[in-house]
Structure 1
């Protein structure tokens, strides 16, 4: 048995039926909120952000005894998303700054020991989860916002699928063995190929004013950012000594285990969309 196939079977051992069922359910909820009443999708982003922050701060407390204050992070994170949707980048930056200030002040009410460590982790959490997620809300605010968000989500999923499929079948050379032993260079090429093809189709058919060559560049950028995001969260989990950030989604792990490639990809897609077709 080749290493690539062994790795694929091991990963598939999670609970394939549950993973597919949960994935389809989440996909249906996303599509419904996007295209039936797009303002509802802001609520979807807020829920994902708050749950993701809860998972991250809980794991930090359990495994590193780091007390990043969840209450100001959750309130500030929700405010960031809403501000980004209503007021754009300026609103998001103001909300982010106020959230960081709230984290510093909230932690002052507790024991001063490890204050710097805890607030540093809190500010990191505020940037890593809600601030990056705010770019999804900013995409949504455009006139063709639902299609921009749909393209962003689809390309990220296609990139992950391409990496898994090609890596499972042809993977031989490790990409980053000390961080994520399952990732291969062949899998990265699969992610790039799949995402570029999907990007060309999406930009040509779904995005007003978009062209196929812009989609190729968009797909390439998504494949790289999604892979780096996945590796980044793998690095965090290795430092914490855990396999998953949570167990909320059967077959998938936690919310953060689904957001790992989406979060760093959001600002990349938002920026390229603005450059290619304008803010909308």
Structure 2
């Protein structure tokens, strides 16, 4: 995997809340941070990083290009604006957040622009998010699988997205899981609770360990120090085959993120 397996998500965190979350995470040893233009928190994250004193070279920062900035005229300028807010000369990974609605901007156009941003040194790696198999096919045709670091997709015990995951793996594209805890719903699952008790772990640790064990990168968020620290410990938890089978059986194609007018036709 060319990207860290474990990082901090910042979706829905703004203002002083995101500053505190990022600073606490960095104190605890987190070194990967995931944001996006539409989260409207890049400037606060830039501030938190600057005030943390952690050297830029130790960090892995990901941002995502919003749909309004996908055209070749706008994409690179919007990324430069993100860099300014984040107070850095480059990000480690830039993703296309959602495919262009109704294919208004062709996949080829925005991925070529993103590849150009990489050549200019604005981003070390590029990737995609919320891409289906047909869209991944277009992405590979545009820039080659070797230039697509990851596909960040909704993935939880209730939405295991096997078809997309298997296709991505076969074509050398790693998978990053978001919404891994299913908005907290999976934390209340009896099966997860049993596995957690067996390992003397938390439910969140079990789910994150399961996802990382499947080869996915995870980016859980939290505003509480104890949860940030606890989530981090999921990296050391190893589930056995019985645990994995039990979690595999929870899959029920329960998708939580499918914004109207934005979501593609899911596989």
TM normalised by structure 1 equals 0.28
More strand by share: 2
Structure with higher helix content: 1
Q: Which has the larger radius of gyration?
A: 1
Alignment TM-score, normalising by the size of structure 2: 0.29
